[in-house]
Structure formats: structure tokens, C-alpha cells
Amino acid sequence: MKKINFFLSVILFSFIISCNKYEEIKKLDASLTTETDLTPDMKQWAFMGETTSITCGICGSSGYSNFNLIKKNYSGKIVALAFHCNTEDAMTCNNQEWSFDGSRPTGGGIPSFYIGDTKTPTSGMQPYIDTLLKRTPEAQVKFKATIEGYKMNITSKIKFFKEVTGDYYVTYFLCESGIDGSPTAPVGYVQTSGGAGYKHNNVVRAANASTAYGVKFTTSATTAINTVFDYSCSINISSNWVKSNLFITAVIWKKNPDNAATCQYLFVNGWDTQIYN
């Protein structure tokens, strides 16, 4: 009986260790999902985009705190992107940052926060997010992403939940979190006002297109309800980036029919697999 109990204990211990290892891997690599069911859920997400830089003191203090607080409070409901700028910042992704800012309201310097299509204060973003989340989703995206060598391979489906007119675009942003921004970080990464333990998160490194507004995927002036588009792409990974800290965030945009409008690409919906605690 003692031998049986001993073997049962060993099996149970092995099972717990295996589960812990799995949870650790899952946590480190949460974005690299191999889901087989890519049917998008009829769920509206919010969008938070920030223009930031290592040279900006407010970016490293209240901007950083508010960005992380919003992510935590709206985890599983919001896609969050940090567009770095300025030549001193090694994380600057010029094509993405310039094109993103170019189709958003300007003024006020950095950090600049955008909820959906609205430029908001550094604090007080919650009402804008809540308004976005109350929208009835017209479309949504779901993807799986895997790393092969120095490429991030993405397979996705985009589904429309109503009949729509106009041109729709999709962007798959390759992002990195957990980048050292402390006073001992390499040149180009030390965050002003950041302090010990500071980490750059949700940093846009690259995308599936040369601009922040991706590629057009609709094929006609009118798209019928329940239409599903399949889209696949690959994004190159730099050897300077930590693969285990990379993830994909997908955003759907609609081209504004008003060519004179400030926002030429309107936020529709977004999705990723990040969990913020």
C-alpha cells in the first residue's frame, strides 16, 4: 500500500510540475497561438494608441502609469500600441509612427493618446473607451501566429456581422514588450523619468504593410453580412528583438470617404491574445 501511495505521489508531483511548466510557457508565449478555430467573435474591442519617446519625461511617468492602468482595467477588451518617435529613440519605427500620426488629430506634443479616432488627455480616457465598447461590431478579426526562424507567420479570418459599404483595411502589428528602459539599459532605450525596473511595453516594431493602416482586404464597394475573408502574411523579425517577448495585435480600419477629414482611416475593431494583470 505504501508503494502504491508513493507511486501515486510521484505521478501527482510530475503532473503538477508539467502543468506549471505549461503555464509558464503559455504565459511567456501567450501571443503565439495555434488555435484551429479562427472564427472571429462578435465582440467590440477598444483601441488605445500612444505616441511616445524615451526623451519625454511625462511619457516615462504619468503616461506610462496611465497606459498600463488602462491595459489592466480593460484586459481582453482593448488593443494597445506604443508608437515610438524621435531619432534618439532606438525603438522608433518611422513608417508606422509617421503614418499613424498623419491620420490622427495633432497638437499637444507627447505623450499623445488616441482612443479610437479621438485624441484624449493623458488621463480621463475611460469614458471614450466605454463609448467604443458599446458599439455594435460590424467586423472582427481572429488569427494564429507562429515564429519560424526570423519570421512571424500569421493566418487569419475577418468576418463582417452586417452589410457594409466602403474600403476596409487590416494591420497586423508586430509588437514587443519587456524591453529594458532602466538607467542601465543600452543607449537609445533609457527612459527619461523611467527609473529602475522600467520596461517598454507594446512597442510597435513592424507591421504587414509600410504604413500603420495596413492593406485593403475588401474587394467590392459593398460587403454582404457574414462575409469572411482569409488573410495570411509574414513579418520579418530583427535579430535585436527578443522572440519570446513578441506578439501580434490586429486592427481593422475603414477608409474615410471624406478625403478632407483629419482621420483618413477610422477604427473598426481589433483583437490580440494579450492578458494584462
- Determine the Cα angle at 250 with ends 246 and 256, to 5°: 140
Q: Could you tell me if residue 277 is inside a domain? A: no
DSSP code at position 254: E
Do 156 and 246 share a domain, yes or no? yes
Do 157 and 264 share a domain, yes or no? yes
Q: How confident is the model at residue 7 (pLDDT cuts 50, 70, 90)?
A: very low
Structural domain including 86 reads 31-272
Mean pLDDT to the nearest integer, 54-63: 96
Do 163 and 265 share a domain, yes or no? yes
pTM, rounded to two decimals: 0.87
Do 5 and 60 share a domain, yes or no? no
Mean pLDDT to the nearest integer, 227-249: 97
Q: Is the pLDDT of residue 225 over 80?
A: yes
Do 224 and 128 share a domain, yes or no? yes
Residues 6+ apart with CB under 8 A from 7: none
- pLDDT at 106 (0 to 100): 79
Do 18 and 80 share a domain, yes or no? no
User: How many CB atoms are closer than 10 A to CB 67?
Assistant: 22
Q: Could you tell me if residue 264 is inside a domain? A: yes
Mean pLDDT to the nearest integer, 188-211: 97
Q: Could you tell me if residue 130 is inside a domain? A: yes
Do 26 and 117 share a domain, yes or no? no
Q: Could you tell me if residue 88 is inside a domain? A: yes
Q: How confident is the model at residue 9 (pLDDT cuts 50, 70, 90)?
A: very low
- pLDDT at 4 (0 to 100): 40
Q: How many domains does the chain have?
A: 2
Do 77 and 209 share a domain, yes or no? yes
Q: In this prediction, what percent of the chain has a pLDDT beyond 70?
A: 87
Which residue pairs, CB below 8 angstroms and at least 24 apart, start in 258-265?
262/103, 262/104, 262/105, 263/103, 263/104, 263/105, 263/117, 264/103, 264/213, 265/103, 265/169, 265/213
Is 175 exposed, middle or buried (CB count within 10 Å of its CB: 0-12, 13-18, 19+)?
buried
- Interval 147-192: pLDDT, tens: 999 999 999 999 999 999 999 999 999 999 999 999 999 999 999 9
Do 42 and 85 share a domain, yes or no? yes
Q: Is the pLDDT of residue 28 over 70?
A: no
- pLDDT at 34 (0 to 100): 54
Do 9 and 136 share a domain, yes or no? no
Mean pLDDT to the nearest integer, 42-53: 97
Rg over alpha carbons for the chain, rounded to the nearest Å, is: 20
What are the φ and ψ backbone dihedral angles of 235, each rounded to 5 degrees?
-125, 130
Do 123 and 10 share a domain, yes or no? no
Q: Is the pLDDT of residue 26 over 70?
A: no
Q: Could you tell me if residue 154 is inside a domain? A: yes
Q: Is the pLDDT of residue 15 over 50?
A: no
Cβ proximity of 144 and 216 under 8 Å: no
Q: Could you tell me if residue 194 is inside a domain? A: yes
Q: How far apart are CA 104 and CA 68, in angstroms?
A: 22
Residue 173's CATH number: 2.60.40.10
Do 113 and 13 share a domain, yes or no? no
Residues 6+ apart with CB under 8 A from 255: 166, 167, 168, 169, 216, 264, 265, 266
